[in-house]
Amino acid sequence: MIVFPDLSFHVVGVSHHTAAVSVREQFAVTEAELAEVLEHEHAAGRSALLLFTCNRCELYWCGPHDYESWFRNLARARGLTLTGEIARLDGEEAVRHLFIVAAGLDSQILGETEILGQIRRAYDAGRAAGTTTREMDAIFSAALSAGRRVRRETTLGRHPASVSSAAVELAAGAWQSGFDGRPVVVLGAGEAAEGVLRSLHQHGATRVSLVNRNPERAAPLATAWGASPRGWDDLPALMAEAELLIVATAAARPVVSAAQLSAAMAARPARQMVAIDLSVPRNVEPAAKKLPGIQLFDLDDLQRLCCPAAAAPAAALQSAERVLEEELCRLDQLLRSRAAAPRLAELHRLGAQVAEQEAAWALAQLAELSERERGVVLEMADRLVRRVLYPVSRSLREEGAPGSPASP
């Protein structure tokens, strides 16, 4: 049975289970804002780790400080009045949640691969800022290991899925002839954009333009997947031709307006456009959904239309759950061993003291012993104490030490 003795580990946040993308995008933080938050918590001597993805914004921490109020204050500061959208988990439930997230079992696209890298980056940011504890290090390292095992050892990892690949699959389903000769425009040059380019390449798309404010920066990525790097000034002309527009940038506000899309459609009234916004915050103005000739999808639409969980094979989920249980048990044993360490150290110190005292008493009664015989008495006393303590030590390591928290 997994108990995690005296585990002070917590998570609070919103996800695609509890909040629409219109809510989740309000929690978006820039790298500078994240660094400021972590620096403040480090100065206060507190632990904190913030995970922000297209699916979730979650804050993890260890210790007595309650970050739920901090999270609710953040929501209010951003104009949100939330009730059931914010979820909190504590102790073992929080650990299990992190493992499930790392395995891709809690994503909009079941088994998606991008979440592992996102957790790793969030963890690295916390470690660099000094806001993780030894306990958090163990938990996040174990969760990342579990996520890798799920992808390596189960069928969920044989056909890697992602939001990017799901977007391309959705677009491919709109045309019976696939991407054959259709002009495609991709905005962005990060991990999600790379996933889009890879999936487009696999689907045989040949007329792909990768748009970035710095086309030189995007050129290596475009070349790797057979796309053409283009500058931001080229976007209006490209959209006037495009039949598929996929936006995956890290901008804090819309970079494609309804007016821009309306102008693009006016230049080609006979053809439809599929536009998919993979960004959080959304980077395509939502009002564009009302424009004639445009099918605009955001992440919530993608989840509703793709429904990957419904088609997941039961055997794959069972295998993934087995891996998670094994890794949770391994983490449990590690934390129990750490919890028992202070008592074990004290127990062995007292044992050594008893052995020394009893050997001294015996030697005082046997003054005529040779040096070799005196050594045998000393060794016997030490061996006797160690043999008595061994099963006790093993039991403490396996059961943990109630009331003895893991080292911070």
Residue numbers annotated as active site: 54
Asked if 9 and 339 count as a contact pair (C-beta separation under 8 A), the reply is no
Backbone angles phi, psi at 270, to 5 degrees: -85, -10
Q: Rounded CA gap, 290 and 262, in Å? A: 10
Tokens encoding 342: 């202070």
Between CA 100 and CA 109, with CA 104 as vertex, the angle to 5 degrees is 135
What is 271-327 written as a DSSP string?
Answer: S-EEEEE--SS-SB-GGGGGSTTEEEE-HHHHHHHH-GGGG--HHHHHHHHHHHHHH
Helix axes 191-202 and 163-172, enclosed angle (nearest 10): 40
Total number of residues shown for the chain: 408
Give the closest residue to 185 by CA, choosing from 229, 219, 134: 229
Establish whether the linkage from the previous residue to 281 is cis, with ω within 30° of 0.
Answer: yes
Q: What share of the chain is helix, strand, coil (3-state, %, to 5)?
A: 55, 15, 30
Q: Rounded CA gap, 39 and 350, in Å? A: 43
Residues 6 or more apart whose CB falls under 8 angstroms from that of 189 comprise 210, 212, 217, 218, 221
What is 223-283 written as a DSSP string?
Answer: HHTT-EEE-GGGHHHHHHH-SEEEE----SS-SB-HHHHHHHHHT-TTS-EEEEE--SS-S
Cα–Cα distance list, 151 to 72, 154, 159 (Å) = 35, 6, 9
**Number of CB atoms found within 10 A of residue 201's CB:** 17
Tokens encoding 137: 């290090």
Indicate the helix (H) or strand (E) that contains 362. Answer: helix 314-365
Sheet of strand 56-62: strand arrangement = 49-52, 56-62, 9-15, 87-90
